[in-house]
Amino acid sequence: MAVEYRNLMEDIVMQNLDIVMTAEGGCTCDACKSDVAAYALNHLTPHYVATRQGRLMVKLQSYELQSRADVVAAISEAAVQVSKSPRHGRS
């Protein structure tokens, strides 16, 4: 029997990543996007699910105003931090 689970916070962050990073005015290259996503995910509560019902519940919660604000704030903070020392500029 295979155990299947997923952190839906990853999906939620990825859905908002481009919009927030563009609004911040920083670099949106793949390296910066990866770094911003990783930073934001490390500062957000994970939402692991193993069932379809769990996925639906987390999806619904992600549309709540506070939840959405938390995600946008984490991505925004991450974009600022990454822009201070972007990985793509290192030799």
Which tens digit of pLDDT belongs to each residue from 32-87? 999 999 999 999 999 898 888 888 887 778 778 788 899 999 999 999 999 999 98
Q: Which of 17, 31, 42 has its CA nearest to residue 86?
A: 31
pLDDT at 49: 86
pLDDT score of 1 more than 70: no
Q: What is the pLDDT, as a whole number, of residue 4?
A: 87
Q: Which of 72, 80, 77, 70 is nearest to 27 (CA)?
A: 80
User: Cα–Cα distance between 7 and 60 in angstroms, integer?
Assistant: 15
The model's pTM is 0.85
State the pLDDT at residue 69. Answer: 92
**Nearby residues of 3 by Cβ (< 8 Å), 6 or more positions away:** 50
Q: Which two tokens stand for residue 7?
A: 């952190």
